[in-house]
Structures are given as structure tokens and as C-alpha cells.
Amino acid sequence: LSLVVQKYGGTSVGDVDKIKNVARRVVETKKRIDHVVVVVSALGDTTNNLVSLAAQISKTPPEREMDMLLSTGEQVSMALLAIALNELGQDAISMTGQQVEILTDTGHTRAKIRHIGADRVVQELRKGRVVVVAGFQGVTSEGEITTLGRGGSDTTAVALAAELHADSCEIYTDVDGVFTADPRVVPQARKLDEVSYMEMLEMAATGALVLQSRSVEYGRNYGVPLHVRSSFHQGEGTWVKSEDDIMEKAIISAVTHDFSESKVTVVGVPDRPGVAARLFGALAEANVNVDMIIQNVSEHARTDISFTVATDNLTKVRKVAGDIGEAVGAEGVNFDADIAKISLIGAGMRSHPGIAAGMFQTLADNDINIEMISTSPIKISCVVRGADGERAVQTLHDHFGLSD
Ligand code: ASP
Ligand code: MG
């Protein structure tokens, strides 16, 4: 039997007409495919609006209550879609994360899925129903509602697809697929027909917002092919799949950018064992993800440590880095929110030397200063001034010939 999981993002279910549209699309799918599971995000800007309501009341709302609040968004869209499907004569039932049994850890607002008990979904599918599942939410073994982090509906969909051994997972969105760069920054950016899980993971981790990173990890770990495509037309989007199945192997696949990070520099820390461990241990303790890290060569037994974090976490980081800085006898701590991280991604750079040099030269030719560099086997990231960010993306996209 064929089985597909479809995920519709917030813009695809932005209003009643769009929900009816999605319902028609699901009915069409059900004619071709035996079993259809649909995962939905909250309507349009719902989640942002809920976040802002809480922010008007408290700077530090309890995370448990944030999950109670945010999980309501998806409950609205799942019910409306199930109503729309029934209206079209398609038997359908909606289910919350708890009803499906999407069990997570207790990390409120960024919970990780531990286990999915999809028995009830399977039973409903066998009755010929379309099952509509609320994305982004789960439940702990204690029965507490959790959410999976912003963009988490993608992860709900791919995790369910893995659990149900779906033939594929279709991610419907308001763009045509995954692009060589953000088309709002690079108008000549090209839609990729296919991209490997590894490349997509790096893209998601460096600022491409189409897929939540964790959903790509699920896809890779369980070999679920992902199809990122538009909910507004029938055209093919981008397939995310295993590198071995990629037909046309490009050296460079994309240039991404991320303006959402800030740089923190702990200045003049004593150069002795344990300082970095203490600093990053405290940040981990405070649940702050650290991205790039650079430690300078020490002079006079003192050194600078710079790292980047999500600007959203800056309030927490100020406190933690300030405290630790003082405790270890650092000379000071600087914070800089005006940075951009620009990354070049491509599986082919493993076997083609000189890509990094080409990137640095292109930035130099355009008078763009590099402040931090980090690499993985298939990615090079540079931190530059925020004001240079878009120009850096454009010139790199051009230099590496990604338009044609
Ligand atoms: N509604 C949630 C968010 O806006 C989850 C999602 O859309 O994937 O982050
Ligand atoms: Mg999304």
C-alpha cells in the first residue's frame, strides 16, 4: 500500500480559502495514494502572535505555559482542515500530538521526539480516513504538552513519515522549493531539483529557513525522501535525498545567510586550562546553543574568545558570559549584534581544493572583511559586518556560477 505524509506550512493554511484549497489537494492525493497523513502548522502568523501576547505580559514566561499557549495554534488548523475534508466528502479525523502519542523529552519549547506510537493513526488510516495531525507538538511521559521548537511541524511530518514507512514526505510551502540562495537577496537564484540530506542539513543550520534541521536529520537517518514544493501550484519542487541518489552532482549547491546571530567576545581571559570549559559549560547549562567559536593566539598569557549565539538568547548570554568573565578574571565582554554569517555549501568541495580560497578572495575583491571563519567538510562559513551581508551573498552566488 502506498502512504504519503504531507505537511502544510502556516502560509499554506493562512485563511479559510487556503484551507479549502489544501483540502482539495488532499482529496486529489487520496485518489492516487492509499493512505494520506497530513501534518499542519498554525494558521499564518498565529504562532508569532501568541508569542507576542505572552511577551506583553512577561519577559520570562514559564516555558511550560508557553507550550500550553503555542500548541493551541496547530489545534485550530488541524480541526479546520478535518472539517474542510469532511465537507468535501472525504472522511477525515484530526489528532493532537498527545492523541497520536508523539512522546518527547521534557525540554519545553524545544523538545525532542523520543518515540512515536502511531497505532491509532494506522487504525484510522485503515478505515479509509485521512488523518490530520497537529504539527510542532508532543507530550512527555508525564502527560505534559511540549513543542518542538520553531518550525517544528516539519519534524513532526518527517518523524511520522519515518515511523509509518511512508514512500515520501511532501513539505508544502509558499516557495517553489529549495533555492541556490534566498531569492529575495539574489533574484537570479535557481531552484534546485535535488539536494542531498547532508547539504540540506548544512543549509538549514546556516540560515535557510525552508526546513527545520531536525526534520532533515530524521529524513537522513531513516531514508525518507523529502519533497519540498509549493502549495499554490502542481510543479515539482526540490527533492532532498541521499547523496548516492543525486543525479547531477554540483560542486557548490548554495549560498546561505543568517542575520539572526550575535558575536560575543570575552576579552583578555587568562590562558590556562579550564576557562573555555567553564564558559561553554555555563552556556550549555543555560540551554544556549553556541555556533562558531574562535580562540585567538594568546599574548602575555591572555587570550580572547569569540563565539556566536542566536540574538534571541542575548539577554541570557549577557548574564552568563558576564558572570563567568568576572569569575575567571577576564578584562571584559563585548556583544555585537550587527553581524551576518554567510555560508557556502556543497558536497563537491570535499574533492575540489581551492573553494575556500575562492570564497575569501571574492570577499576581499569586494572589500568585505572576514571576522570569523568555520568549516565542515562540505561547508565554509564567514562572519562579516551585517551591512555587507547581502552583498557577500550576491557576489559569492555570482562567483561560483550558481545562477545558470
Ligand atoms: N507554528 C510553529 C511555528 O511557527 C511550527 C511550524 O510552523 O512549523 O514555528
Ligand atoms: Mg516552516
Test site for ligand 1: of 150, 160, 174, 260, most ligand atoms within 8 A of the Cβ: 150
> What is the spatial distance between Cα 51 and Cα 48, in angstroms, rounded to a whole number?
5
Q: Give the model's pLDDT for residue 319.
A: 93
* Residue 26 to residue 88: CA distance in whole angstroms: 10
pLDDT band at 250 (very low <50, low <70, confident <90, very high): confident
| CA gap 255, 391 in Å, rounded | 12
Nearest 5°: the CA angle 112, 114, 118 is: 115
Helix axes 153-163, 213-222, angle to 10 degrees: 10
Please, is 378 exposed, middle or buried when counting C-beta atoms within 10 Å of its C-beta (0-12, 13-18, 19+)? buried
Q: What is the pLDDT of residue 272?
A: 87
Q: Is the pLDDT of residue 298 over 90?
A: no
Q: What is the pLDDT of residue 19?
A: 98
Query: How much of the chain, in percent, has pLDDT values that exceed 70?
Result: 100
47 C-beta closer than 6 A to ligand 1: yes
Residue 305: pLDDT band (50, 70, 90) is very high
3-state secondary structure at position 58: coil
Check if the beta carbon of residue 133 is closer than 8 Å to that of residue 26: no
pLDDT at 80: 98
Between 82 and 245, name the one with better pLDDT: 82
Say how many CA atoms lie within 13 Å of 52 toward its Cβ: 5
- Measured from the CA of 156, which atom of ligand 1 is nearest? 8
Confidence of residue 249 (pLDDT cuts 50, 70, 90): confident
* Pocket residue to mutate for ligand 1, from 153, 155, 172, most atoms within 8 A of Cβ: 153
265 strand-pairing partners: 306, 334
φ, ψ of residue 92 to 5 degrees: the values are -150, 150
pLDDT tens for each residue of 128-151:
999 999 999 999 999 999 999 999
Nearest CA to ligand 1 atom 8: 151
CA pair distance 147, 66, nearest whole angstrom: 9
- Band of the pLDDT at 301, cuts 50, 70, 90? confident
pLDDT digit string (tens) for 76-104? 999 999 999 999 999 999 999 999 999 99
Tens digits of residue pLDDT in 150-168? 999 999 999 999 999 999 9
Mean pLDDT over the full length of the chain: 95
Spatial neighbors of 250 by CB under 8 A, at least 6 apart, are 346, 347, 348
CA distances from 305 to 72, 259, 322 (A): 42, 21, 13
